[in-house]
A and B are shown apart, each in its own frame.
Chain A
Amino acid sequence: MEQVIEYFKQSSTTVQALGVTAGGLIGVFATLGVFFLVIWVSDKVGRKGAE
Chain B
Amino acid sequence: MQDVFIGFTSVTWQNLVMYLVGFALIWLAIKKEYEPMLLLPIGFGAILVNLPLSIAGIPAAGASVTEPGFLSVLFEMGIRTELFPLLIFVAVGAMIDFGPLFKNPFMIFFGAAAQFGIFATMIAATLLGFDLKAAASIGIIGAADGPTSIFVSSIFAPQLLGPISVAAYSYMSLVPLIQPPVIKLLTTKHERRIHMVYHESSCPKWLKVMFPIAVTMISGFVAPISVPLIGSLMFGNLIRESGVLERLSKAAQNELANIVTLLLGITIGSSMTAAAFLTLDTLMIMGLGLVAFIFDTAGGVLFAKLVNLFLPKARKINPMIGACGISAFPMSGRIVQKMANDEEKGNIILMHAIGSNVSGQLGSVIAGGMVLALVPLLVG
Contact = CB atoms under 8 A, between A and B. Distances in A.
B90 to A, nearest CB: 20
Contacts of A31: 218-219, 222-223, 366, 370
Contact of A39 (B113, B130, B136, B211): B211
Interface string B132-164: 100110000000000000000000000000000
A20 to B, nearest CB: 5
B126 interface: yes
Interface residues of A, number: 30
B100 to A, nearest CB: 12
Given A27-B370, A28-B370, A19 B108 contact: no
A14 interface: yes
A5 B113 CA distance: 24
B132 A17 contact: yes
Nearest to A29: B112
18 contacts: A9-B378, A16-B378, A17-B122, A18-B123, A24-B119, A25-B119, A27-B366, A28-B115, A28-B367, A31-B218, A31-B222, A31-B366, A32-B109, A32-B362, A32-B366, A34-B218, A34-B222, A35-B108
Contacts of B116: 25
Interface string B105-118: 11011011101101
Interface in A29-49: 29-36, 38-40, 42-43, 46
A46 B371 CA distance: 35
B177 interface: no
Given A28-B115, A39-B207, 18 more contacts: A5-B378, A9-B378, A13-B126, A13-B135, A14-B123, A20-B371, A20-B378, A21-B120, A25-B116, A27-B223, A27-B374, A28-B363, A29-B109, A32-B108, A36-B105, A36-B106, A38-B211, A46-B204
A40 B106 CA distance: 9
Nearest to B110: A32
A16 B126 contact: yes
Interface residues of B, number: 48
Contacts of A34: 218, 222
B370 A17 contact: no
A39 B147 CA distance: 26
Given A17-B123, A39-B101, A39-B102, A24 B219 contact: no
Nearest to B127: A14
Contacts of A43: 102, 105, 207
A19 B371 CA distance: 11
Nearest to B135: A17
B283 interface: no
Contacts of A18: 123
